Amino acid sequence: MATITISNVSKAFGPTPVLKGVNLSVANGSFFTLLGPSGCGKTTLLRTIAGFLQPDTGHVLFDDQDVTHVPVHRRDIGMVFQDYALFPDKTVFANVSYGLRARGIERQSVERLVREHLDRVGLGHLADRHPAELSGGQRQRAALARALIIKPQVLLMDEPLSNLDAKLRVTMRETILDLQRASKITTIFVTHDQEEALSMSDQIAIMDRGVIAQVGTPEDLYERPANAYVADFIGAANVLSVRVLQRANAGHIIASLAGNELRCVDGGVTPGGEGKLIVRPEHIQFGSAEATIGTKNVVKGQVTRRRYLGAKTLYSVSVDADLTIAVEHHAGLYPRPLELGQIVDMVVPMNCLVVAS
């Protein structure tokens, strides 16, 4: 169990920079996710923390110890790989006991610990099988057990669920979380799946082309995206061009969207300039002009598209020739769907963010 500190780490492969001055702090015992599309540098960062890569500049610290130049096998980490990397010639038992045997733990203790861990992941009856005889989910659990059993300071997981099918993935998330909470090992989890990240993490760092775009709790990231990239990556978002008119009180500004005046939160824009309004489809309400002090944050439009998905319905509402807004309504809140061509009043909530273009 350790805190992990990444301090100003940069890494380039040949002429291409992959990590640019990354700074991160991972709390002891937390489940920390690195999220982003392929090529954003999350795997590179993970492998740097593991030690398979050496940063060009910067440091990696476990607690107070600078491990930047410590070889992998002495960092006391546990790692779970996307392809599980179980040793094909060894049984599940031999795989799981591998790290313990390397540490010289005596045989009887090894036996006991392995049985315990296998039972914990539900593989007790498969101890003598070889990896080829196991299903994908079973293999993943074996890989997990193998990494956890050595009680590493840090657990690193590189997209471990990507090769599993959808339903299995969901069950495995629970398994992983349960195990992590029980062992309280500081865990770094890499994924490109935002649903996974949101549902599992204590903290998420979203990465964009080698830099950290935002760090925060899932709620922080979802409700208060720092910029358009984050907003767009997590969940869906409308990113609309607006003109900033003036500052208002309490950190708000007044912006103009297709002629409508809206009151929004100031995300670092200057009056008179351009900005990007970020509002989630499910936060847009339809209704009469109740609520709001001052501006009413109302935008009128026409429903041009409707997709019924059972639990929710997706709408495209066209405001003018250049502006279409996506709206999402859950059946629980809006039992009666809108019609195509219907004219509606959309209410944009006042806590929506406007960021610089």
Partner 1 sequence: MRTRILPWGLLTAACIALNVLFVLYPLLTLTGNSFRAADGGFGFDGFIQFFANPEYLEALRNTILLGIAVTTTATLIGVPFAFIVVRHDFPLKGLVALLPIATIIIPEVIICQSWLLVLGNNGFVTRALRAIGIFLPSFYGWGGMIVVMTLVYYTYIYLGTLAALRGFDGQLEEASRSLGRSPFQTTFRVVLPTVLPAILVNAMVVFTLVVGNFAISIILGGHVPLLSIETYNAFVNEMGGNPVMQSTLSLVTIVLVAAVLFVQKRVVERRLVQMTQGRAPAAVRVSSWQGIAFAGFVLFIVLLSFLPLVTMFVAAFTESRGPMVRWGSFSLAGLERVLAFGREPILNSLKFASLATVAGTCFAVLASYLIVKKRSVASQALDYLAVLPLTVSGTVLGISLVQTFNSGPIILTGTSLIMVVTYMVHRLPFSIRSASSALYNVPDSLEEASISLGVAPLKTFFKVVVPVMSASVASAFVLMWATTMSELSASVVVYSGGLETLPITIFREIDSGRVGLASAYGAVLVTLIVVPIGLAVKIFRIKLFATK
Residues in touch with partner 1 (CB under 8 A): 50, 52-54, 71-74, 76-79, 81-83, 85-90, 98-99, 102-103, 143, 146-147, 150, 156
> Exposed (0-12), middle (13-18) or buried (19+): which is 238, by Cβ within 10 Å?
buried
163-166 long-range contacts, CB within 8 A, separation 24+: 163/82, 163/83, 163/136, 164/136, 164/137, 164/140, 165/136
* C-alpha to C-alpha distance for 172 and 180, rounded to whole angstroms: 12
Q: Give the strand order in the sheet containing 343-347.
A: 285-286, 343-347, 298-308, 312-320, 323-330
Contacts of 274 (CB under 8 A, 6+ apart): 241, 242, 243, 244, 357
The answer to whether residues 9 and 18 touch, using CB atoms and an 8 Å cutoff, is no
Q: Least separation, in Å, of the C-beta of 285 and partner 1?
A: 49
Q: Of the two residues 147 and 204, which places its CB atom closer to partner 1 in the complex?
A: 147
Q: Of the two residues 105 and 331, which places its CB atom closer to partner 1 in the complex?
A: 105
Q: Least separation, in Å, of the C-beta of 77 and partner 1?
A: 6
Alpha helices in the chain, H assignment, sequence order: 42-50, 92-102, 107-120, 136-148, 166-183, 194-200, 218-223, 228-233
- The one-letter amino acid code at 300 reads K
Q: Of the two residues 85 and 298, which places its CB atom closer to partner 1 in the complex?
A: 85
Q: Of the two residues 24 and 79, which places its CB atom closer to partner 1 in the complex?
A: 79
The answer to whether residues 337 and 308 touch, using CB atoms and an 8 Å cutoff, is yes
The residue written with tokens 């607690």 in the block is: 63
Q: Of the two residues 101 and 184, which places its CB atom closer to partner 1 in the complex?
A: 101
DSSP 100-159: HHHTT--HHHHHHHHHHHHHHTT-GGGTTS-GGGS-HHHHHHHHHHHHHTT--SEEEEES
Q: Least separation, in Å, of the C-beta of 57 and partner 1?
A: 16
Q: Least separation, in Å, of the C-beta of 142 and partner 1?
A: 11
- Supply the DSSP symbol for 98: H
Q: Of the two residues 7 and 82, which places its CB atom closer to partner 1 in the complex?
A: 82
Q: Least separation, in Å, of the C-beta of 91 and partner 1?
A: 12
Q: Angle at Cα 275 formed by Cα 272 and Cα 277, nearest 5°?
A: 130
Q: Least separation, in Å, of the C-beta of 146 and partner 1?
A: 7
Q: Of the two residues 160 and 225, which places its CB atom closer to partner 1 in the complex?
A: 160
Q: Of the two residues 137 and 160, which places its CB atom closer to partner 1 in the complex?
A: 160
Q: Of the two residues 153 and 180, which places its CB atom closer to partner 1 in the complex?
A: 153
Q: Least separation, in Å, of the C-beta of 159 and partner 1?
A: 12
Q: Least separation, in Å, of the C-beta of 128 and partner 1?
A: 17
Q: Least separation, in Å, of the C-beta of 41 and partner 1?
A: 18
Integer CA distances (angstroms), 2 to 256, 277, 307, 331, in order? 49, 40, 48, 45
